[in-house]
Amino acid sequence: MMAHELTTADGVPLRISLERALLRSRIRAALLVVPLMAFLLFAFILPIFDMLYRSVENTIVAQVLPETVIALQDWDETGDALPDEAVFKTAVADIQAAFKAKTLGRLARRLNYEKPGMASLLRKSGRRSLRITEAPWSEQLIKIDRKWGDINIWRLIKRESDHLTESYFLAAVDMRLDDLGAVNWQPENRQIYLQLFWKTVWMSGLITILCLLLGYPVAFLLATLPLRTSNLLMVLVLLPFWTSLLVRTTSWIALLQTEGVLNDLMVVVGLISDDGRLQMIHNKIGTFVAMTHILLPFMILPLYSVMKTIPPSYMRAARSLGATPFTAFVRVYLPNTVSGIGAGSILVFILSIGYYITPALVGGRTGTFISNFIASHVSETLNWGLAAALGVILLALVLALYLLYDRIVGIDNMKLG
């Protein structure tokens, strides 16, 4: 047997030698991709997960009030007695240490998300706590601010002493924990995020449909006209695509505002009176118009690339077999473009759901999206936990819709070009 196996010059069986050579080339190929993979991992995937983790991360209470958190473990928060003197003593010591280490401010901001008033309570208590050097601890702390005699303050500190918290996610769906730790709806006049998610989804859906209705005929023209004319048309599609987003958005403001071009024109023509100028911007209409215009190329381009591959003979064949133009279109042409419709729609929808500059500028008070609030929590209120929780929900929503799309249309059918 051995004698029959082919070997290389140095006696290694050919099969093994071949495998080694293939492995080497595979490793070499993998090495070429390594830089990109490493870049993606460190510049994209890890930061995203780090940001997402902030939606549940909650180490601050245990960091700033370490001894108090331990002392509170034996306290029964369901009863109606304040923690005992020993807890107050450790709390005073923790607050004093935190004030000196300048970490009290961060704790104040964190707890204020849960209970308005905690910020000023902690800030006020920081410097003044230095005066307390001996018993009675509780009496003196309550003298600084009588809120320290409120049992709910202590319940809050104990509740938020875990390293993970659900409160950002609860806040992101308009809920909160009450003083006893039970999940409740926010008061009605503070509920905002659920309806924003819903508004973002349905408005994005409608924008997608508008893009499809407007983009389909354009893509059809592009694909069927003679090359010279279609190239010119293509430039008209691409030109706005290359123009700055802000420029396009502000041009819509100039066109649509009540003293703007369109209203002026309608007044001159006599369609509307000077007092009856239409409000077409700073509301939902503004968002629909501007977003549809901005996202239109993302619908036209995939549609065009698919339509380009459909031989004109198909339609001719259908007509010659007796189909009306409408039947030929519905039964022959349209089914052939489904992959383009799918690609364009999912592209426009996902882009639209995450847009924030355009809705912020033209949306007014009714046409803004959830992403506007994520942006404001990141850059203005610095509540990154809530921003992350809202982001996670948005990401989950997009993934769910993507899976739904895969189930109905099939992701293999998608064509981007």
Write out the residues near another protein by the rule CB under 8 A.
102-103, 105-106, 108-109, 112-113, 116-120, 123, 186, 189-192, 195-196, 199, 257-260, 282, 360, 364-366, 373, 378-383
Distances (CA, A) of 268 to 251, 257, 273: 21, 16, 9
For another protein, give the closer residue by CB, 347 or 353.
353
Q: How far is the CB of 148 from another protein (least distance, A)?
A: 16
Nearer to another protein, 102 or 407 (CB): 102
We find the least distance from the C-beta atom of residue 323 to another protein, in angstroms, to be 49
Cβ atoms within 10 A of the Cβ of 228, count?
A: 7
Using the minimum distance from each CB to another protein, give the nearer residue, 283 or 413.
283
Query: Measured from the CB atom, is 138 or 165 closer to another protein?
Result: 165
Whether 417 contacts 200, CB under 8 Å: no
Using the minimum distance from each CB to another protein, give the nearer residue, 123 or 248: 123
| Torsion region of 145: left, alpha or beta (phi above 0 gives left; psi -120 to 50 gives alpha) | beta
Q: Output the CA–CA distances (angstroms, integers) from residue 169 to 56, 380, 381, in the order listed.
A: 8, 19, 17
**Residue among 65 and 108 whose Cβ is closer to another protein:** 108
Q: Shortest Cβ distance from residue 183 to another protein (Å)?
A: 17
Report the nearest approach of another protein to the CB of residue 139 (Å).
24
φ, ψ at 42 (rounded to 5°): -85, -30
Beta-bridged to residue 57, according to DSSP, are 164
CB of 191 to another protein, least distance (A): 6
State phi, psi for 4 to the nearest 5 degrees. Answer: -80, -20
Instruction: Rank residues 224 and 379 by Cβ distance to another protein and give the closer one.
Output: 379
- Longest CA–CA span in the chain (Å) reads 102
**Nearest distance from C-beta of residue 378 to another protein, angstroms:** 6
Token pair of 322 as six digits: 């007796």
DSSP symbols for 295-340: HHHHHHHHHHHHHTTS-THHHHHHHHTT--HHHHIIIIIHHHTHHH
Closest Cα partner for 145 from 178, 177, 123? 123
DSSP 257: S
- Cβ(203)–Cβ(371) under 8 Å? no
CB of 72 to another protein, least distance (A): 23
Handedness of CA 372, 378, 381, 387 (dihedral sign): positive
184 strand-pairing partners = 176
**To the nearest whole angstrom, how small is the minimum distance from the Cβ of residue 189 to another protein?**
5
Distance CA 260, CA 220 (A): 33
Decide if 323 contacts 278 (C-beta within 8 A).
Answer: no
- Closer residue to another protein (CB): 131 or 190: 190
